[in-house]
Chains A and B, each alone.
Chain A
Amino acid sequence: MSNMTGNKKKAPKSSSNGMRILKQMSYNRLAMLGAFILLIEVVLALLAPVIAPHNYASIDIAVAMQGPSLTYPLGTDDMGRDILSRLLYGARYSIGMGILAVSFGMFFGCIVGSIAGFYGGKVDNIIMRILDVIQSLPSMVLVIVLSAVLGAGFFNTILALSIGGIPANARLLRAQMFKVRENEYMEAAVSINCSKIRIIVKHLLPNSISPMIVSATMGVASMIVAAAGLSFLGLGVQPPAPEWGAMLSSSRQFIRTSPHMVIFPGLAIGITVLALNLMGDGLRDALDPKLKR
């Protein structure tokens, strides 16, 4: 045998998949920028009670529709409420609704998709046809109808938004599961007597979930826009709740006289969506093994 090695080996670093992916993402500057922006927004939203200069609901007609000033950094709306404070509290609504709606959509999509993906065959067929029906309705129409049926309000809106998201999530998961099922380790799990539940939860799901996570990250952005749209239409969350879409809706008639009332909520939505998309892009690239380095 060899009596000396000329090979200076570095100790192998054990890295979990999760750490590896985060590291991979950190190389993407834009993704990190998006994550940073989002983080700031979340912090601001959480600190709203502390940093908001005014009460977001206090009405003062005397100072209505004023442009940005020292007292009111982003101006006031048609009821004299401070726009900055409303945006800060509004972040809780918009980002909160976005994340919760997506989470519910993912959770139920996961269950439905797993059943279809694991069993295949007839079960898959039936589930897919039901999802087909749901997806054949234009998503905005579906959300509007559901919202109208369920009524306005924070949690009702979240429910309406999430139902629309279930089919897409389920499909993504199911498609990936069909691929993962081809791997021999799935057969190995059967050969060592794993129960069906264990196979799904321990082997199938963790390896299939990445595309769904990426799409979900991007999904938060569209949920925020959808929530804004609902408020805009008079459904969803209603004033005086400072939801960004509702702010847009109630300000549109003043766009020519006091554009700041429309611009700032619009910017808030736009920047948040941009940040989420950048993050989602970065996450997708990090999860794609072919794009490594």
Chain B
Amino acid sequence: MSQHAAEAQDTPEQHAFRLRARTYMAEHLPPRLAEEAPWVWDRPELVLKDRRIQKLLFDGGLAGLTVPVVYGGQGLDPSYEAIFLQEALPYRLAWALGNSFNVVLPTLLKHASEGLKRRYVPRLLSGEDLWCQLLSEPSGGSDLAGLITRATRTEGGWLLNGSKVWTTGGHFADMAICLARTDPEAPKHAGLTLFLVNMHAPGMTVRPLRLIEGSEDFCQEFLDDVFVAEDHVVGEVNGGWTVAKTAMANEHAAMGRGWHAGYRSGETTNELAPPEDLLDLAKGRPGDAHVRQLFGEAWVLDAVQLLTTRRIETGIRAGVLPAQSGHISKVMSAKAGARRTAIVSELAGVHGIAARPREEGLSAGMNRVIRHAIGGGTTEMSGNTIGERLLGLPPEPLPDRNIPFSQLAKNAAPKRGG
């Protein structure tokens, strides 16, 4: 629906909100620039900029639109969020706070104590605290409930020891939700607790991970007797899996409806433009039947992916698709992306693997190396979720589900000579 069509359907209250949002953003927000992508972790200045944007939105009464007023929000119904996003199209939004808003906020609202919510939600909404998630560990990613970071009781709280990895934006974060093992004698899902951890606390070391192409989007953390106060447990002690499931469900739903709220936009017809990068590669050989096949195929891949992602976003927002449908967009992106790298490399030929000094040329081939389907959950885990949760197929057998964690094969002391 176009903005004009949407505006015509506003109630008087919605229209007043729309005009207020429009005026305020025109006065305060920086423009949306193509060269400033939502992916910020390589550009500290954008992280700073996003935090300032969030503060401006908060000061203007445009942050946490659906969050209750007592926690610093605006207490409005979800229709106002849609209006806000329509009006925000010309401006940059605080996309660096994706984890804070997509994952941490709904998790805190659902499971945190009144005291934690009153203390942390307003700071999250104002961009004062940037949040990350300490979930995956070096010894296991997909099997999250098999984690080994320990939390042991100490006076007034807990001491956390272990290592976390694949933390998006960990080096910029102030706070984290952290899942740790509090009872190794319970079966693996039943001995976990979710903590709110200060990323600047003594004993917390954050090290950016250098990826294949040199970027540093993710971090590894080392926790060495990091103290967490008693009242910073979210949910029940040993009830962390329930809380983590909320966090993961929100993460997947956000991936499904678009992680960077409002970043994708557009009309519903006339937007399937041919892929420019491939057009450039194909232009040199327009009469080559093989080139034409590859180009046409890539256009189909791009278009179907765009339309499917939007379909899933729309369906999740409207409540006609379950949140797990986000896995469909994710798997499609993974498979289409992999095929696309083959097409690009085929069209680029040797220019995808070698470039003259000071020439930008390797991006075509580099995607063939770095494009994988691991982050945010592997394609294999998504395959299980789609099969079991969306299609109703029987679940995987889980032989380790009811055995005390300390007795599982991978945690038992190695046998001599074994």
Q: Say whether A associates with B.
A: no
B contact residues vs A (CB 8 Å cutoff) = none
